[in-house]
Amino acid sequence: MESVLKLISEQRCFDGRQLRFSHRSQVLDCDMVFSLYLPPQAVSTPVPLVTWLSGLTCTDENFVTKAGAQRYAAALGLAILAPDTSPRGEGVPDDEAAAYDLGLGAGFYVNASEAPWAAHYQMYDYVVAELPTLLRNSDLPLDFSRQAIFGHSMGGHGALIIGLRNPQTYAAIGAFAPIVAPGQCPWGTKALTAYLGEDSAAWRQWDARELILACNHQAAVPIRIDQGLADQFLDAQLKPQLLLDAAPEAYPLHYFAHEGYDHSYFFIASFVGEQLAFLNTHL
Ligand SMILES: N[C@@H](CCC(=O)N[C@@H](CSC=O)C(=O)NCC(=O)O)C(=O)O
C-alpha cells in the first residue's frame, strides 16, 4: 500500500536521519508538513518518541534548525517529532490583521469551536490522535509505548495541556518558558476568545493551571520547566508562578530559573540536553 506520508527531505545528522514529511490531514482539512529525527539506534530497534511543540510564528523547522537537539537525541536514542504550529494553505483562515499571535502559526494546540476557525484549527486532535496514528501506520521504527512531550512558549502550553490530559500516553512533560495560564495573559485570552468563544468556562480544559488544580495526583505526569529570567515575555505572558502556586507541594514539578537567558532559541539550545535527559529518565 502506498504510504500517506510523503518524504520530502532527508539529511544525515549525528549518525541518525533528520526527515521531513508532507501529508493530507483529515482533522485540519489541509496539507501539512512535519519533521522527524530518527537516532542511529532506530536502525536496529524501535525508539521512544518525544514530541516537540513550537511557539508562535514557528513552523516545524525552527526547532530542527536552531535547537541543536539532534546531538542529544542521538546519544539517548530518542526520536523527535516536530509538527507545525497551525493548519496552513489555501482556504485556511488567518487573523484579519495577520497578527503573529492568532491564526497561522498560532494554533495554540486547541480544538476550535468558533467560526471561522473550527473548520481547520483542530491542533489538539492533530497532535494527540491523527499524527500518531499516521506514524503508527507507517513503517517508521517508533515505540509508541514510550512517549514524552515538550515545547516552547505557546508550545510549552501545548505540551503541558496535552501531557496533563493524556497521562496514559505521555510519561513526562518538558517546557521552555511556557504560557502556563492562557486564561490570564494577553496572548492566551486573545486566542481562546477567538477559537473557543467568550465564555471562559470553556477555556479551562485548555489551561495548564486549571488542569493541574483539577488533576488526579496519583497519576501525576512529571514536569520540568526551564525559564529564562531575562525573558521579555516573562511577566506579561508566561507567569510561571501561577502554575507553581497551583501545583500541590507533592506534585513532581521541577522548575529551573536561569539568570540572563531570554525567550529565544539560544536559551532552548542551552538547556535542550537537560530537558531531553529528564524526559528520557521517564521513558
Ligand atoms: N514576533 C513576535 C514574537 C514572536 C516570538 O518570539 N516567537 C517565539 C515563540 S513566542 C511564544 O510562543 C519563537 O519561537 N520564534 C521563532 C524563533 O525562531 O525564534 C514579537 O516580535 O514580539
Note the pLDDT of residue 215: 81
Atom nearest to 106 CA in ligand 1:
12
Note the pLDDT of residue 250: 87
Note the pLDDT of residue 2: 56
Ligand 1 pocket (Cβ < 6 Å) reads 55-58, 62, 66, 100, 152-154, 263-265
- Kindly state the percentage of the chain with pLDDT values over 70: 98
ipTM score: 0.95
Residues 145, 169 contacting (CB under 8 angstroms): no
Note the pLDDT of residue 3: 73
Task: Tell me, in angstroms, the distance from the centre of ligand 1 to residue 273's CA.
Answer: 21
Task: Tell me, in angstroms, the distance from the centre of ligand 1 to residue 209's CA.
Answer: 22
Cis peptide before 116 (omega within 30 of 0): yes
Q: Which segments in the chain show pLDDT lower than 50?
A: 1
Note the pLDDT of residue 249: 86
Q: What is the pLDDT of residues 16-43, one digit of tens each?
A: 999 999 999 999 999 999 999 999 999 9
Task: Tell me, in angstroms, the distance from the centre of ligand 1 to residue 55's CA.
Answer: 7
Question: Three-state SS string across the chain, please?
Answer: CCCCCEEEEEEEECCEEEEEEEEEECCCCEEEEEEEEECHHHHCCCEEEEEEECCCCCCCHHHHHHCCCHHHHHHHCCEEEECCCCCCCCCCCCCCCCCCCCECCECCCCECCCCCCCCCCEHHHHHHHHHHHHHHCCCCCEEEEEEEEEEECHHHHHHHHHHHHCCCCEEEEEEECCCCCHHHCHHHHHHHHHHHCCCHHHHHHHCHHHHHHHCCHHHCCCEEEEEECCCCCHHHHHCHHHHHHHCCCCCCEEEEEECCCCCCHHHHHHHHHHHHHHHHHCC
Atom nearest to 177 CA in ligand 1:
11
Note the pLDDT of residue 241: 98
Residues 86, 103 contacting (CB under 8 angstroms): yes
User: For residue 226, what are the β-bridge partners?
Assistant: 176, 256
Q: 254 an active-site residue?
A: no
C-alpha cell of residue 47 = 525508539
Catalytic-labelled residue, pool 23, 152, 153, 157: 153
Note the pLDDT of residue 1: 47
Q: What kind of fold does domain 6-281 have according to CATH?
A: Rossmann fold (3.40.50)
| Sequence ranges of the domains in the chain | 6-281
Q: What is the pLDDT of residues 250-263, one digit of tens each?
A: 899 999 999 999 99
Q: 31 an active-site residue?
A: no
